[in-house]
Amino acid sequence: MSSKNTSVAWPELAAFVLSKELNDGEIGSPGGARSEIPLAAARLAQLTHAPNLMIITSAAGFVTNNVGRPPAPLFHSTTDYRNIYAGAESVLHFMSIFRTPRDWFFAGGMQVDSYGNLNMTAIGDVKAPKLKGPGGAGLSYAGSVARRYFIYMQQHSRRSFVNKLDYVTAMGYGSGPGEREALGLVGGGPALVFSPLAVMDFCDATKRLRLRSVHPGHTVEEVLDNTGAEMIVPENVPTTALPDNDVLEILRTQVDPSGVLQNLKGSRND
Amino acid sequence: MSSKNTSVAWPELAAFVLSKELNDGEIGSPGGARSEIPLAAARLAQLTHAPNLMIITSAAGFVTNNVGRPPAPLFHSTTDYRNIYAGAESVLHFMSIFRTPRDWFFAGGMQVDSYGNLNMTAIGDVKAPKLKGPGGAGLSYAGSVARRYFIYMQQHSRRSFVNKLDYVTAMGYGSGPGEREALGLVGGGPALVFSPLAVMDFCDATKRLRLRSVHPGHTVEEVLDNTGAEMIVPENVPTTALPDNDVLEILRTQVDPSGVLQNLKGSRND
Amino acid sequence: METRSVKLSSVDVALEGLEDGQTLIIGGSLFHNKPMHLVREIARRQVKDLTVVSVPQASLDVDLLISAGCVAEVRVPYMGFEYLGLAPGFRKAASEGTIRVWECDETHLLAALEATSRKLPSGVAKAGVGTDLHKLNPDLKLVKDHITGEPIMAVGALKPDLAIIHAAAGDKYGNLRYAGYSFGDLIIAEATRQGGGKIIATVDEVMPNVSFTSDPFRTDISCILVDHVIEAPYGAYPCSSHGNYQFDEAAILEYVNAAKSEQSMRDYIENHIMSVPDHEAYLEKHVKLMSVVAARAKIYV
Amino acid sequence: METRSVKLSSVDVALEGLEDGQTLIIGGSLFHNKPMHLVREIARRQVKDLTVVSVPQASLDVDLLISAGCVAEVRVPYMGFEYLGLAPGFRKAASEGTIRVWECDETHLLAALEATSRKLPSGVAKAGVGTDLHKLNPDLKLVKDHITGEPIMAVGALKPDLAIIHAAAGDKYGNLRYAGYSFGDLIIAEATRQGGGKIIATVDEVMPNVSFTSDPFRTDISCILVDHVIEAPYGAYPCSSHGNYQFDEAAILEYVNAAKSEQSMRDYIENHIMSVPDHEAYLEKHVKLMSVVAARAKIYV
Backbone phi, psi, residue D133, to 5°: -55, -45
Q: Are A19 and A269 in contact (CB under 8 A)?
A: no
Instruction: Give the residue from D63, D90, D132, D249 with the most B CB atoms within 10 Å of its CB, the best one to mutate.
Output: D132
Reference D100, options D51, D167, D170; nearest CA is D51
Residue D282 one-letter amino acid: Y
**Interface contact D154-C143, CB threshold 8 A:** no
Q: Does D59 touch chain B (CB under 8 A)?
A: no
List, in sequence order, every residue forming a beta bridge with B214; answer none if it has no partner.
B198, B239
Query: 3-class SS at A211?
Result: strand
What percentage of chain B has pLDDT greater than the value 90? 90
The larger pLDDT score, comparing residue B154 to residue B266, is at B154
Partners of C122 on chain D (C-beta within 8 Å) are 145-148
Q: Are B147 and B23 in contact (CB under 8 A)?
A: no
**Interface contact B99-C118, CB threshold 8 A:** yes
C-alpha to C-alpha distance for C122 and C105, rounded to whole angstroms: 16
Partners of D94 on chain B (C-beta within 8 Å) are 122, 129, 132
What percentage of chain B has pLDDT greater than the value 70? 96
Chain length of chain D: 301
C-alpha to C-alpha distance for D40 and D276, rounded to whole angstroms: 9
Please, what sign has the CA dihedral across residues C273, C278, C280, C281?
Answer: negative
* Contacting C residues, span 216-275, partner chain B, CB-CB under 8 Å: 216-217, 219, 221-225
- For residue B32, what pLDDT is reported? 77
User: Looking at domain C11-103+159-296, does it have CATH number 3.40.50.2300?
Assistant: no
- For residue B270, what pLDDT is reported? 36
* Burial class of residue D203, CB neighbours in 10 A (0-12, 13-18, 19+): buried
Q: What is the pLDDT of residues A214-257, one digit of tens each?
A: 999 999 999 999 999 999 999 999 999 999 999 999 999 999 99
Q: Are B100 and C190 in contact (CB under 8 A)?
A: yes
Q: Does C2 touch chain B (CB under 8 A)?
A: yes
Reference D279, options D24, D18, D41; nearest CA is D41
Partners of B91 on chain C (C-beta within 8 Å) are 216-217, 219
**Interface contact D222-A68, CB threshold 8 A:** no
Is the pLDDT at B6 greater than 80? The verdict is: no
- For residue B266, what pLDDT is reported? 65
**Interface contact C2-B184, CB threshold 8 A:** no
The chain C residue lying nearest B63, using CA atoms, is C222
Tell me the CA distances in angstroms from C33 to C52, C62, C185, C269, one per residue in order.
Answer: 16, 13, 9, 21
DSSP string, chain D: ---PPP-B--HHHHTTT--TT-EEEE-SBTTBS--HHHHHHHHHTT--SEEEEESSEESHHHHHHHHTT-EEEEE-SEEB-GGG-B-HHHHHHHHHT-SEE----HHHHHHHHHHHHTT-SEEEESTTTTSSHHHH-TTEEEEE-TTT--EEEEEE----SEEEEEEEEE-TTS-EE-SS--TTHHHHHHHHHHTT-EEEEEEEEEPPTHHHHT-GGG-SB-GGG-SEEEE-TTTTTTSBBTTTB---HHHHHHHHHHTTSHHHHHHHHIIIIIT--SHHHHHHHH--HHHHHHHHHGGG-
Enter the DSSP assignment of A240. P
Q: What is the pLDDT of residues B235-245, one digit of tens each?
A: 999 999 999 99
Mean pLDDT of B79-101: 97
DSSP string, B188-252: --EEEEE-SSEEEEE-TTT--EEEEEE-TT--HHHHHHT--S--B--S--PBPPPPPHHHHHHII
Give the confidence band of A7 by pLDDT, cuts at 50, 70, 90. Answer: confident
Q: Are B31 and B38 in contact (CB under 8 A)?
A: yes
Residue B136 one-letter amino acid: G
- For residue A5, what pLDDT is reported? 34
Give the confidence band of D1 by pLDDT, cuts at 50, 70, 90. Answer: low
The chain A residue lying nearest C151, using CA atoms, is A183
Q: Are A53 and A26 in contact (CB under 8 A)?
A: yes
Q: Are B77 and B30 in contact (CB under 8 A)?
A: no
Q: Does D121 touch chain C (CB under 8 A)?
A: yes
- For residue B7, what pLDDT is reported? 86
Is the pLDDT at D78 greater than 70? The verdict is: yes
Q: What is the pLDDT of residues A75-123, one digit of tens each?
A: 999 999 999 999 999 999 999 999 999 999 999 899 999 999 999 999 9
**Interface contact C128-A140, CB threshold 8 A:** yes
What percentage of chain C has pLDDT greater than the value 70? 100
| Shortest alpha-carbon distance between residue C16 and chain D (Å) | 32
Enter the DSSP assignment of A82. G
**Interface contact D121-A184, CB threshold 8 A:** yes
Residues 6+ apart with CB under 8 A from C58: C26, C29, C30, C34, C52, C76, C78, C79, C87
Enter the DSSP assignment of A61. T
C-alpha to C-alpha distance for A27 and D2, rounded to whole angstroms: 17
| Shortest alpha-carbon distance between residue D119 and chain A (Å) | 7
Q: Are A264 and A39 in contact (CB under 8 A)?
A: no
Instruction: Give the residue from D96, D118, D126 with the most B CB atoms within 10 Å of its CB, the best one to mutate.
Output: D126
Q: Are C286 and C269 in contact (CB under 8 A)?
A: no
Give the confidence band of C288 by pLDDT, cuts at 50, 70, 90. Answer: very high
Specify the range with the lowest mean pLDDT, choosing from A2-6, A203-207, C295-299, D265-269.
A2-6
Is the pLDDT at C182 greater than 60? The verdict is: yes
Mean pLDDT of D59-63: 98
C-alpha to C-alpha distance for A91 and C61, rounded to whole angstroms: 25
Enter the DSSP assignment of B49. T
CB atoms within 10 A of CB D162: 23
The chain B residue lying nearest C186, using CA atoms, is B96
Reference B120, options B130, B101, B133; nearest CA is B133
| Shortest alpha-carbon distance between residue C12 and chain A (Å) | 31
C-alpha to C-alpha distance for D296 and D291, rounded to whole angstroms: 9
Of D101, D133, D181, the CB nearest to B140: D133
Give the confidence band of D2 by pLDDT, cuts at 50, 70, 90. Answer: confident
Q: Does D140 touch chain C (CB under 8 A)?
A: no
Complex ipTM tops 0.95: yes
Give the confidence band of A1 by pLDDT, cuts at 50, 70, 90. Answer: very low
Alpha helices in B93-212 (DSSP H): 139-145, 179-183
Q: Are C57 and C76 in contact (CB under 8 A)?
A: yes
Give the confidence band of B59 by pLDDT, cuts at 50, 70, 90. Answer: confident
Q: What is the pLDDT of residues B61-87, one digit of tens each?
A: 999 999 999 999 999 999 999 999 999
List, in sequence order, every residue forming a beta bridge with B161; answer none if it has no partner.
B112
C-alpha to C-alpha distance for A64 and A79, rounded to whole angstroms: 13
Of D190, D194, D209, the CB nearest to A89: D209
Q: Does D1 touch chain A (CB under 8 A)?
A: yes
Of A79, A85, A131, the CB nearest to C301: A85
Q: Are A31 and A58 in contact (CB under 8 A)?
A: yes
Q: What is the pLDDT of residues A199-210, one digit of tens each?
A: 999 999 999 999
Reference C233, options C296, C183, C163; nearest CA is C296
**Interface contact A137-C77, CB threshold 8 A:** yes
Q: Please give the model's pTM, rounded to 2 decimal places.
A: 0.97
Q: What is the 3-class SS of chain C, one letter each residue?
A: CCCCCCCECCHHHHCCCCCCCCEEEECCECCECCCHHHHHHHHHCCCCCEEEEECCEECHHHHHHHHCCCEEEEECCEEECHHHCECHHHHHHHHHCCCEECCCCHHHHHHHHHHHHCCCCEEEECCCCCCCHHHHCCCEEEEECCCCCCEEEEEECCCCCEEEEEEEEECCCCCEECCCCCCCHHHHHHHHHHCCCEEEEEEEEECCCHHHHCCHHHCCECHHHCCEEEECCCCCCCCEECCCECCCHHHHHHHHHHCCCHHHHHHHHHHHHHCCCCHHHHHHHHCCHHHHHHHHHHHHC
Q: Does D143 touch chain C (CB under 8 A)?
A: yes
Give the confidence band of A266 by pLDDT, cuts at 50, 70, 90. Answer: low
Specify the range with the lowest mean pLDDT, choosing from A1-5, B4-8, C169-173, C176-180.
A1-5
- For residue B5, what pLDDT is reported? 34
List, in sequence order, every residue forming a beta bridge with C272; answer none if it has no partner.
none
Reference A153, options A8, A18, A256, A6; nearest CA is A18
Mean pLDDT of C123-127: 98
Q: What is the pLDDT of residues A163-201, one digit of tens each?
A: 999 999 999 999 999 999 999 999 999 999 999 999 999
**Interface contact C124-D120, CB threshold 8 A:** yes
Residues 6+ apart with CB under 8 A from D29: B59, B60, B79, D54, D55, D56, D57, D58, D183, D184
What is the CA D160 to chain-centroid distance, rounded? 12
Give the confidence band of A6 by pLDDT, cuts at 50, 70, 90. Answer: low
Q: Does C141 touch chain D (CB under 8 A)?
A: yes
Of B84, B89, B98, the CB nearest to C223: B89
**Interface contact B89-C194, CB threshold 8 A:** no
**Interface contact B62-D181, CB threshold 8 A:** yes
Q: Which chains touch B (3 or more CB pairs under 8 A)?
A: C, D
Q: Does C4 touch chain D (CB under 8 A)?
A: no
Of D4, D212, D217, the CB nearest to A52: D4
Q: What is the pLDDT of residues C146-163, one digit of tens each?
A: 999 999 999 999 999 999
List, in sequence order, every residue forming a beta bridge with C154; answer none if it has no partner.
C124, C141
Sort strands C23-26 and C50-54 into parallel, antiparallel or unpaired.
parallel
Q: Does D138 touch chain C (CB under 8 A)?
A: no
Query: Where in chain C are the domains?
Result: 11-103+159-296, 106-156
CB atoms within 10 A of CB B225: 11
Please name the helix (run of DSSP H) or strand (run of DSSP E) that holds residue A62, with its range, or none: strand A62-64
